[in-house]
Structure 1
Amino acid sequence: MNTLADHYFSSVLDYLQNQGLDSQTVLDAINFNEYSNKNAHQLASRITLVSYNTLLDYAQQTLNEPLFGFKLGQHIRTADFGILGYLIESSDNLASAIQALLNYDSLVADIGKAQFKQQDGTAVIRWLPHSNCNTHVVLRNMTAWVSVIRQLINSGLSPSSVSFTFNWPQEQKATLIKWFGCTIQTGTKYNQITFPSSYLALPFKTDNASINFALKQVSEQQLSSFKSQQHLSEKIIHLLMAKIDLQECTLIRTANALNITPRTLQRKLKQEHTSFLILLEQERKRRVTLWIGKLSLTDLALTLGFKDQSSFNRAFKRWFNCSPKSYFKNSSESPQ
């Protein structure tokens, strides 16, 4: 089950409280029932993605704010990230902070996968959200990254470009362009932030090596504990999401990556009421809605790991009850 830390969920309630919405009234409105066994008014240590999505949707509708996730991300505090926030805050530069994010992001929210790459003087940090993440979850995440870095380095710092898989009306897009201070691309293959590689060496105002070292040790302990409690299906979902493409993505290779036998993997997934083929199909379906129209159908089928075009077409018909060409045509004709 995809979850996030209670403090990250609570930070949304804090923001809404400042907007005049009582926290308990909000929780009652979304039928929230994830309290600890010890205290009926204390949140459980991990909150489900379902409740997080519902909270953000409710807030957007109640405040009538179409860019609610963006507004939320603007007001992020490093403390909202818990121990990861303090680890980032005590890093010596942006490169170290990004490495901490890549290593320990799941401690804050186990709802997506962060990736990082560099090429020709350009750096890219990319976020692959779980397929159930709504627009506001993604908006908050991307905006918060930039907001925190501005707090720690320079309030005037801007990326080279920001890309979203979603689309917005021109007025809302203009709002994003003004705040991010760069080109905003929508309807893209990935949610990502592009910036000059030279930013990576920019020093943090709050650099503290000794505290950073201690926090890394605590983070490792917490991550180890979290992973031990994680379902096997969740680990496989993250493995699949982290792959650039799904070619050669088999049960045997996945079992090897997890240091277990294929038979054990199948048995444990059966206990979780799923299978490797079901998880692979979910990831293929997630990617196809992001990539169709951005790759040729031949390349799309290959990237998703299908042996041939006809196999891809049959799977697509099963998912969407239409052909890929019909789906793309209808999507292109729909108003943005």
Structure 2
Amino acid sequence: MYSLADHYFSSTLDYLQSQGIANEVALKAIKFNEYSDNKARQFAPRITLTSYNALLEYSQKTLNDPLFGFKLGQHVRTANFGILGYLIESSDSLASAIQVLLNYDSLVADIGKSQFEQLGDIAIIRWLPHPSCNEQVILRNMTAWVCVIRQLLNSKLSPSSICFTHHYSKEHLNTLATWFNCPVSINAKYNEISFPSSYLTLPFKTDNAAVHLALRQISEQQLSNFKSQQHVSEKINHMLMVKTDLQECDLIRTANALNITPRTLQRHLKLEQTSFAILLEQERKRRIPLLIGTQSLANLALSLGFKDQSSFNRAFKRWYSYSPIKYFKMQIGK
């Protein structure tokens, strides 16, 4: 079950209330009934991605704002991220803040995976959302990152560029580019933020080494508790998501990575009503729109972990009822 911390979900309700929409109205509209039983509310309650998606979709439609997630992200505060927010705030630089994000992001939400890379003078932070995350979830996440860093470093700080996997009209693209104050690309392969590597050494005004160390210790304990409760299928999805390619992804290697036997892994997945084959297929299908047309079909088949192109072609036709070539032409024509 993909989920996010209750305080992050509630921050959306707080924003809606400022827009004249009562909490009771919004929650009733999405038929929210999580934690109706007090026994289900544990120390760190979590809300399902399904409910979060529903709340942001309801908000976007009710406020008639296609960029609702963007507006929501602009109102984020470090407190909305809970302990992760305070960890970031007490970091000594952007570099250490990003490391905190990579290590403890799941304490706020395990609905995607953060990645970071540095290519000479340019640094890139990327977010790989779970396939079911809607457009508003992605908009909020990307905007919130920039918003928080501006609060902690400099309100006029701007990225070098922003990339979104979704499409936006020219009007909306201009709105995004104006606020981010940088070029914005759409229909991109990844949702990512590029910025000068020199930003990494910029000191935080809120740096507090003693507080930071104490919060790290608490975060490690919370992360350990969270991982122990996490479904095996969620762990595998995250493992597959961050792999550069899906070659040599099989049940045995995955079980070894999780320090359990293949038989035990199969048993756990059966209890979760899934299998390794299903999870691998889901990840392959998630990558199709991102990769098709960027390389030859033979290379695409290999990167997705197929033994040969004919195996890939058969699977592709089973998924989409079209050949890869016909599917690519249809995507271009959209």
| Residue number in structure 1 paired with 2:228 | 228
- Between the aligned residues of both structures, percent identity stands at 70
Distance 1:205 1:321 in 2: 56
Query: What are the residue-to-residue correspondences of 1:153-168 with 2, within 5 Å?
Result: 153-168=153-168
Deviation, 1:38, is 1.7
* Pair 1:60-2:73 in alignment: no
Distance 2:295 2:55 in 1: 34
Deviation, 1:41, is 11
Distance 2:36 2:197 in 1: 44
**Unpaired runs of at least 5, structure 2:** none
Letter in 2 for 1:148: V
Distance 1:207 1:158 in 2: 21
* Pair 1:290-2:309 in alignment: no
Letter in 2 for 1:30: I
Letter in 2 for 1:78: T
Query: What are the residue-to-residue correspondences of 1:104-253 with 2, within 5 Å?
Result: 104-253=104-253
Instruction: Indicate conservation of the 8 Å contact 1:236/1:254, yes or no.
Output: yes
Deviation, 1:296, is 2.8
Letter in 2 for 1:74: Q
**Unpaired runs of at least 5, structure 1:** none
Deviation, 1:105, is 0.3
* TM-score, normalised by the number of residues in structure 2: 0.97
Instruction: Indicate conservation of the 8 Å contact 1:5/1:45, yes or no.
Output: yes
Letter in 1 for 2:264: T
Give the SS at the match of 2:38. Answer: coil
Query: What are the residue-to-residue correspondences of 1:325-336 with 2, within 5 Å?
Result: 325-334=325-334
Letter in 1 for 2:238: H
Distance 2:31 2:232 in 1: 29
Instruction: Indicate conservation of the 8 Å contact 1:94/1:200, yes or no.
Output: yes
Letter in 1 for 2:190: Y
When the two chains are superposed, the root-mean-square deviation of aligned CA atoms in Å is 1.6
Residues 35-44 or 162-171, more deviating? 35-44
Distance 1:228 1:292 in 2: 37
Deviation, 1:278, is 0.7
Distance 1:76 1:318 in 2: 43
Please list the CA deviations of residues 105-159 of structure 1 after superposition, one character each: whole Å capped at 9, or x if unmatched.
Answer: 0010010000111121211111110000000111110110000000000011111
Give the SS at the match of 1:294. Answer: coil
Query: What are the residue-to-residue correspondences of 1:43-82 with 2, within 5 Å?
Result: 45-82=45-82
Letter in 2 for 1:155: S
Deviation, 1:44, is 8.1
| Residue number in structure 1 paired with 2:323 | 323
Between the two proteins, the alignment pairs up a number of residues equal to: 334
4+ long deviations beyond 6 Å:
39-44
| Residue number in structure 2 paired with 1:22 | 22
Distance 1:281 1:217 in 2: 37
Query: What are the residue-to-residue correspondences of 1:2-17 with 2, within 5 Å?
Result: 2-17=2-17
Please list the CA deviations of residues 51-86 of structure 1 after superposition, one character each: whole Å capped at 9, or x if unmatched.
Answer: 000000000000000011111111111011000000
Distance 2:262 2:135 in 1: 36
Give the SS at the match of 1:73. Answer: helix
| Residue number in structure 2 paired with 1:278 | 278
